[in-house]
Amino acid sequence: MPSGGSLILETRNVHCDARILAAEPGVKPDPFVQLTVRDTGIGIDPELLPHIFEPFLSTKAEAHGTGLGLSTVFGVVKQAGGWIAVQTEPGAGTAFQVYLPRL
């Protein structure tokens, strides 16, 4: 957030309803924990959004990151049996909702 802003973290228990099961093929109707990371930053460009979990994709200057962060998180979450949902609005921020099986 180049001009500052807020970063909000939230957690909650969720049960997969029909909407979630339809949107995420292969998800079991088990209990999950949802971790939401929301910011009030610049949002994600709509053309970039389908590619944000690709390895080495970065919007940072060359010496300021590798582009492996989201790709690594995506892989770890998938291996754990979860998934990530993203909502973003250019100029208004982004929310990542990470779903992990509740143990």
Rounded mean pLDDT of 73-92? 92
Cβ count within 10 A of residue 57: 14
Identify the residue with better confidence: 33 or 54: 33
pLDDT band at 62 (very low <50, low <70, confident <90, very high): low
The share of the chain scoring above pLDDT 90, in percent, equals 45
Give the per-residue pLDDT at 16. 81
25-42: pLDDT as tens digits: 778 778 999 999 999 988
Count the residues in the chain: 103
Q: In terms of residue numbers, what domain contains 23?
A: 7-101
Give the per-residue pLDDT at 94. 93
Residue 37 lies in a domain: yes
Structural domain count of the chain: 1
Q: What is the CATH number of the domain that holds 44?
A: 3.30.565.10
Identify the residue with better confidence: 64 or 90: 90
Residue 1 lies in a domain: no
Are residues 59 and 43 in contact, defined by beta-carbon separation less than 8 angstroms? no
